[in-house]
Amino acid sequence: MSPIASAADDGSRLAQEVPGNSDSRMLKSRSLAIYVSVWILAVFLAETAWAQQRPAASDPAVPPAPGDMSRLAEGVYVRIVSPDSDAVGNAGVVILESGVLVFDTHFTPEAGDALMSRIKSLTPLPVRLIINSHFHPDHTHGNQAFAGARMIVGSSNTRRDMLQEDIPALNQVQTIALAQVEQLSREIAKEPNAKLQEALRAQLGARQAFLRRMSALKILPPVMTLDDSLNIMDGGREVRLLCLGDGHTDGDIVMVLPEAKIAFLGDLFFNGALPNVEDACVLDWMKTLKEVLKLDVRTYVPGHGPVGTKSDVELFLNYFEELKGLVGPAVKRGDTLEQVVSDLRLPARYSTFGFRNFFAANLQKMYAELKALEVPVPAKAGVKKRGVPR
């Protein structure tokens, strides 16, 4: 675990949301692409039934949790979000003796506020700890709703990416939105046609609303970071935060509640859905999922989709293995990426998965990684030749 980072650079100046389609043509950076893809992902989810499933309370005798929270064990809750909401990513809540721990905070401050209001109906205890599973905005942009928590925990790489990717990207989006507002204002002023002027005013109103949301959003990166593991002991409960390896990003952490045998996996686990591999190393992800499967847990909370079992995680890993099995021979044959994308089809057993539009991107990522392994590494005298390390 690294030392506690300075809270002074908590990125409080930031913010943004999902850029509109007109923005997407202008946005070049990887992080901006993430915002777009997260939004596409949310829309796609809205068309799938799987994400609507809700986890059952572990004990039917226990009253249901308020609102859209579900109880997994005593003091342990999950909010599996509606795909067409502004929350996008799932969130977990653990009520400790001295306060509340929140695992991921949804996509917007408003969604974070909604989570906070549900926590208030569960317990009078204050929120003490925020855990960010990784840097993606659908897991971190609700952080500001818990500003009183003061302590945000994540991996060193999550902090790095929020500071170096997220904040600059959102500043860029803010600048673009401001320029659009100014441009539309000028066009309205010189437009003689009343109908066209009305249409422009509608556009202006939408862009102004977007700009207001961006301006109100604050990026709050972790102020306590870990690179290996961190155990939190509070009252009778133990919480383990683990860096099990690269995967969905190079900064994913997993939260394990050993007594309840529950693991919150963030986006290392898409349950019943194809994964977003935008920032992933899929070959490392497969290794990390094997580490996940070694955990002594029974309940696996994904970043997207319903609460799952070990067999759900195994199926998700199996998807990667089948993907590798499809792409590997094509790479060996020397097929081009275009051939791979046009020739290969999603195996039928995943035909009910959500996010099926990610399949082409999944193929591309696997192709790129397997292709990189084919590049010969110059052998040095006396050094055993190995594959290309990552």
Give me the residues that bind Zn ion (CB under 5 A), please.
136, 267
- Rg (C-alpha) for the chain, rounded Å, is 22
> Distances in Å between the alpha carbon of 101 and those of 139, 154, 251?
14, 13, 20
Closest separation in Å from C-beta 277 to Zn ion = 10
Q: How far is the CB of 248 from Zn ion (least distance, A)?
A: 5
Considering beta carbons, is residue 358 or 367 the nearer one to Zn ion?
358
Residue 96 CA: distances (Å) to CA of 47, 100, 371? 37, 6, 47
User: Which amino acid, one-letter code, is at 340?
Assistant: V
- Give 136 or 365: the residue with its C-beta nearer to Zn ion: 136
What is the nearest approach in angstroms of Zn ion to the Cβ of residue 169? 15
What's the min distance (Å) between Cβ of 276 and Zn ion?
A: 6
Q: How far is the CB of 280 from Zn ion (least distance, A)?
A: 9
Residue type at 206?
A: A
> What gap in Å lies between CA 181 and CA 176, rounded to an integer?
9
Please say which residue, 81 or 211, places its beta carbon nearer to Zn ion.
Answer: 81
- Within 199-316, strands assigned E span 224-226, 229-234, 237-242, 254-257, 262-264, 299-301
Instruction: Please state the closest distance from residue 272 (CB atom) to Zn ion, in A.
Output: 16
Buried b or exposed e, range 317-339, using 16+ CB within 10 angstroms: bbbbeebbebbeebbeeebeeee
Q: Are 102 and 92 in contact (CB under 8 A)?
A: yes
Which residue lies nearer to Zn ion by CB, 23 or 267? 267
Give 267 or 369: the residue with its C-beta nearer to Zn ion: 267
C-beta closer to Zn ion: residue 260 or 300 = 300
The smaller minimum CB distance to Zn ion, of residues 27 and 122, is found at: 27
Quote the longest CA-to-CA distance of the chain.
79
For the CB of residue 62, give the shortest distance to Zn ion in the complex, in Å: 31
Q: How far is CA 367 from CA 34, 37, 315, 332, in A?
A: 20, 20, 21, 10
* Nearer Cβ to Zn ion (10/267): 267
Tell me the closest approach of the beta carbon of residue 267 to Zn ion, in angstroms: 4
Nearest distance, CB of residue 144 and Zn ion, angstroms: 19
- Cβ(77)–Cβ(96) under 8 Å? no
Please check whether residue 119 is in contact with residue 93, taking contact to mean a CB–CB distance below 8 angstroms.
yes
Beta carbons of 307 and 55 less than 8 angstroms apart: yes
The alpha carbon dihedral of 116, 267, 96, 241 has a sign of negative
Partnered with residue 255 across adjacent β-strands are 241, 264
